[in-house]
């Protein structure tokens, strides 16, 4: 049984990699742990899934959203920014990492409306 909290990669890559004290999280998309894609007409559900996937990938590395120092959000339509930001705020709470938002022409799956990648500070083993 898979005990990971984050989703499995959709291709030949890893979800996280730690180097030089940083944890790099691959772009998270609106696909649940079963590999099911969320409907294109529900932006909030897609954003919630993306940030839940990010949170799960971090948890798999013993990290939390509060360890994130930078995120990049890719949107198919920049007008979706306010709704995505509201979801992001629920996941990050008072923590405010650096942030970049980029509008893109599309994603690997045309139903996806966003993708988020992150960089977090990796803790030393045994530190809190």
User: Which pLDDT score, from 0 to 100, does residue 1 have?
Assistant: 35
Report yes or no: 70 and 119 within 8 Å, Cβ to Cβ.
Answer: yes
Give the whole-angstrom CA distance, residue 76 versus residue 97.
Answer: 22
Strand residues in the chain grouped as ranges (E):
16-19, 22-28, 68-75, 98-103, 114-121
User: Which pLDDT score, from 0 to 100, does residue 50 have?
Assistant: 97
Give the whole-angstrom CA distance, residue 18 versus residue 87.
Answer: 26
Q: How many of the other CB atoms lie within 10 Å of CB of 17?
A: 12
Q: Which helix (H) or strand (E) holds 33?
A: none
Helix (H, G, I), strand (E, B) or coil at 121: strand
Q: How many of the other CB atoms lie within 10 Å of CB of 5?
A: 15
**CATH T-level fold of 18-121:** 60s Ribosomal Protein L30; Chain: A; (3.30.1330)
Question: 88-118 in b/e burial notation, b at 16+ Cβ within 10 A?
Answer: beebbeeeebeeebeeeeebeeeebbbbbbb
From first to last of the 128 residues of the chain, give the pLDDT tens digit: 346 777 766 777 788 999 999 999 999 999 988 888 888 899 999 999 999 999 999 999 999 999 999 999 999 999 999 999 999 999 999 999 999 999 999 999 999 999 999 999 997 655 55
């Amino acid at each position: 049984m898979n005990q990971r909290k984050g989703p499995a990669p959709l291709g030949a890559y890893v979800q996280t990699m730690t180097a030089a004290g940083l944890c790099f999280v691959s772009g998270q998309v609106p696909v649940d742990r079963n590999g099911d894609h969320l409907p294109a007409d529900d932006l909030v559900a897609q954003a919630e899934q993306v940030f839940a996937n990010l949170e799960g990938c971090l948890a798999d590395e013993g990290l939390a959203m509060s360890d994130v120092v930078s995120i990049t959000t890719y949107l198919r339509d920049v007008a979706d920014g306010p709704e995505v930001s509201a979801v992001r705020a629920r996941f990050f709470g008072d923590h405010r990492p650096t942030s970049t938002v980029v509008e893109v022409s599309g994603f690997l799956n045309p139903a996806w409306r966003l993708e988020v990648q992150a960089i977090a500070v990796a803790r030393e083993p045994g530190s809190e």
